Amino acid sequence: MLKTLANLKVIFLGTSSAIPTSERGLSSIALVREGEILLFDAGEGTQRSFFKANLGFNKKMKIFISHLHGDHCVGLLGLLQTMSMLERTLPLSVYGPRGLLGFVKNNMKSLKCELSFPLNIKIVAEGTFLEENEYVVRACKGKHFITNYAYALEEKDRPGVFEPNNAIRLGIPKIKWSNLQKDETVTVKGKKIKPEQVIGPKRRGRKIVISGDTRPTLKLKHFLEGSDVAILDSTYFDEHKEKAKEHMHMTASEAMELSSKAGVKKVVLTHFSSRYRDVATILASISKKHINTIAATDFMEINIPYPDELTEKKKE
Amino acid sequence: MLKTLANLKVIFLGTSSAIPTSERGLSSIALVREGEILLFDAGEGTQRSFFKANLGFNKKMKIFISHLHGDHCVGLLGLLQTMSMLERTLPLSVYGPRGLLGFVKNNMKSLKCELSFPLNIKIVAEGTFLEENEYVVRACKGKHFITNYAYALEEKDRPGVFEPNNAIRLGIPKIKWSNLQKDETVTVKGKKIKPEQVIGPKRRGRKIVISGDTRPTLKLKHFLEGSDVAILDSTYFDEHKEKAKEHMHMTASEAMELSSKAGVKKVVLTHFSSRYRDVATILASISKKHINTIAATDFMEINIPYPDELTEKKKE
């Protein structure tokens, strides 16, 4: 089946760790892929950020909770309530670690919140826990006080590029081109022609990893390999590296080092401690070796092109 | 005992009903009285508003929850967590309807939130449920889907004004004035002089009522009587008066009518439905009869003078 290109962008809805500031809300990151919202964490204030970012409450959507600390999941309650008030009808799945079901159920009961749509709470295990037509989502345990999952969105390969010149050279009539594009073998003048004779190699989809709260680990490095974009816990900078150990987070340097070892193409640091008032300046002073690293800000949007789109652009 | 004047102001931290907007956060109102914060409701986002309003997380403080709908209490969770992260030491009491204890306890457990300070959850009953040296707090049940309390902060009377001219006329030596000011009888040349001979009548303290979510009721009217300031549910305007009945709220007109009957001196309407984009203009078109009515906005601050301060000012 011929696949069209899928738009994919990330919108940062909250980029502060633990305590919000006037500029940074609590953790929440939206990947918007072809109109579907994949929301990673929902800290307090997420529903308000949804309005500000014009995300819509009745869209095709899935939510992934990294871990059950309040600053990563309390916003789920208001989000579910507001979706219901706005009469959401589409089903919603929320994925996360053990304890998520109790957290949501107890609160829906305490707060007398009646949902207008089917809600499925799904407890995550490591590995590929979700497979859709065009992508999978995988989980990897981090190293934090409680179970934390890093998540990876991995798109499946797209078919290779159809080469009309090859088809013409092989004398294939145009009426049969679409069969080849659908990965079917065709017969031309009694001769079998396979799709790979006119279609280039499969093209890799995109991979985006979001770390949640974690120390750097070898396991996470492996999980990061092949990422086009990694959005990483960078609660601290070097001056507080002892605190990073104590509170089970990464420093910006640790996150960059890990991504560099894993060959990540673009790194976006987030989850900054509220003590840092000018993250961009601090980062600029240390990231010279890591030119593909930026610091997230609330409502920053980043389009994520396909790897081969980048290659094409470089060729131009 | 001679009492000094106590500063009292109200700061609106969130003035939207049910669903936040980009301009209005969810319900939360801080009364700041002589450095003590009395917080009425804590909708999602309250902790962030605390920072913006420079309120401080380790102040003498009490919290009063009107009812257990998410938009009035979910912010409590982040507030408690942030207080602990900032190492609050002062004890905190949270008052509210039955169910509050379970809501807080279950969430502290689910979210692995360890408090750095003593937390007392106190279930409210109608009437005077809290008495401090200088004020009491009373509760009155409203008419809503679930138990909702309107709260009244009522300051105790202050002593009357000491009249030096009277004291001089009665030949009382200055050394004995402070005894009279402390409400003690003194003896001058064998003659007993009572405080009331040199001190005017006791002066009424201030009364502020905050309604929570409710329909207008006769009981609430009685509860409002004698209020200097009433902060009232005004979810709807006249065009949606049927919705006000259906969703158990007041319209602005109903709130003003009720306050007018109760002789409330100043009315501040709040908890506006997110459907209204320009509340002030709508209100201006209907409130001509109610000149002492204003619409709250987020971060609006109002100083509340003593009734006799107002009288003094009028005299001038």
Given a contact cutoff of 8 angstroms between Cβ atoms, the answer to whether B196 and B159 are in contact is: no
pLDDT of the residue at B309:
77
Task: Determine how β-strand A61-64 pairs with β-strand B119-123.
Answer: unpaired
- The one-letter amino acid code at B226 reads G
Per residue in A159-208, pLDDT tens?
Answer: 898 999 999 999 999 999 999 988 899 999 999 999 999 999 989 999 99
Put simply, whether B13 touches A (Cβ < 8 Å) is no
pTM of the model: 0.92
What does the alpha-carbon distance between residue A97 and residue A118 come to, in Å, rounded to a whole number?
Answer: 20
pLDDT of the residue at B159:
86
Mean residue pLDDT across chain B: 94
Per residue in B83-132, pLDDT tens?
Answer: 999 999 999 999 999 999 999 999 999 999 999 999 999 999 999 999 99
Mean pLDDT score, B257-272:
96
Q: Which residues pair with B153 in a beta bridge?
A: B137, B208
Mean pLDDT score, A233-240:
96
What percent of chain A is predicted at pLDDT more than 90?
88
- 3-state SS, residue B294: strand
Contact residues on chain B for A273, CB-CB shorter than 8 A: none
Per residue in B177-200, pLDDT tens?
Answer: 999 988 899 999 999 999 999 999
Q: Which residues of B are catalytic?
A: 71
Mean pLDDT score, B295-314:
86
pLDDT of the residue at A229:
98
DSSP state of A42: -
Residues 108-167 of B with CB under 8 A from A: 110-113, 145-146
Mean pLDDT score, B33-39:
97
Residue B184, classified by CB atoms within 10 Å of its CB into exposed (0-12), middle (13-18) or buried (19+), is exposed
Which comes out higher in pLDDT, residue B143 or B282? B143
Q: Which residues contact B3 (CB under 8 A, 6 or more apart)?
A: B134, B158, B159
Q: Which residues contact A314 (CB under 8 A, 6 or more apart)?
A: none
Task: Determine how β-strand B229-233 pairs with β-strand B266-270.
Answer: parallel
Residue A1 pLDDT more than 50? no
Which comes out higher in pLDDT, residue B4 or B81? B81
Per residue in A123-155, pLDDT tens?
Answer: 999 999 999 999 999 999 999 999 999 999 999
B76 sits in which H/E element: helix B75-85
Residue B81 pLDDT more than 50? yes
Nearest to A101 by CA among A70, A135, A68: A68
Torsion sign, CA atoms B254, B11, B228, B126: positive
Mean pLDDT score, A83-101:
98
Per residue in B138-159, pLDDT tens?
Answer: 999 999 999 999 999 999 998 8
Domain A8-158+203-315 bears CATH identifier 1.10.10.10: no
Q: Which residues of A are catalytic?
A: 71
Contact between A22 and B52 using a beta-carbon 8 Å cutoff: yes
Which comes out higher in pLDDT, residue A97 or A282? A97
Which pLDDT band, with edges at 50, 70 and 90, does B2 fall under?
A: very low
Residue B166 pLDDT more than 50? yes
Question: Which residue does chain A place closest to B102, by CA atoms?
Answer: A110
Greatest Cα pair distance in chain A: 73
Residue extent(s) of CATH 3.60.15.10 domains in chain A: 8-158+203-315
Which pLDDT band, with edges at 50, 70 and 90, does B308 fall under?
A: confident
Cα A74-A76-A79 angle, rounded to 5 deg = 130
pLDDT of the residue at B284:
86
Residue A316 pLDDT more than 60? no
Contact residues on chain A for B49, CB-CB shorter than 8 A: none
Contact between B111 and A69 using a beta-carbon 8 Å cutoff: yes
pLDDT of the residue at B74:
98
pLDDT of the residue at A183:
87
Lowest mean pLDDT among A7-16, A70-79, A272-281, B303-312: B303-312
Mean pLDDT score, B29-35:
97
pLDDT of the residue at B285:
85
Cα Rg of chain B, angstroms: 22
Contact between B51 and A26 using a beta-carbon 8 Å cutoff: no
Q: How many CB pairs under 8 A join A and B?
A: 106
Given a contact cutoff of 8 angstroms between Cβ atoms, the answer to whether A236 and A252 are in contact is: yes
Per residue in A247-259, pLDDT tens?
Answer: 999 999 999 999 9
pLDDT of the residue at A5:
82
CA A16 to centroid of chain Cα atoms = 18
Contact residues on chain B for A58, CB-CB shorter than 8 A: none
Contact residues on chain A for B69, CB-CB shorter than 8 A: 111-112
Angle between helix A100-110 and helix B100-110 axes, rounded to 10 deg: 170
Retrieve residue B203's tokens.
Answer: 């002066």
Nearest to B105 by CA among B126, B123, B87: B123
Residue A120 pLDDT more than 50? yes
pLDDT of the residue at B92:
98
Put simply, whether B101 touches A (Cβ < 8 Å) is no
Mean pLDDT score, B6-34:
97
Long-range Cβ contacts of B305-311 (<8 Å, 24+ apart): B306/B5, B306/B158, B306/B203, B306/B204, B306/B205, B306/B206, B307/B203, B307/B204, B307/B206, B307/B228, B307/B265, B308/B203, B308/B204
pLDDT of the residue at B60:
98
Put simply, whether A71 touches B (Cβ < 8 Å) is yes
Lowest mean pLDDT among A102-111, B167-176, B214-223: B167-176
What does the alpha-carbon distance between residue A32 and residue A10 come to, in Å, rounded to a whole number?
Answer: 6
Residue A312 pLDDT more than 70? no
pLDDT of the residue at A227:
97
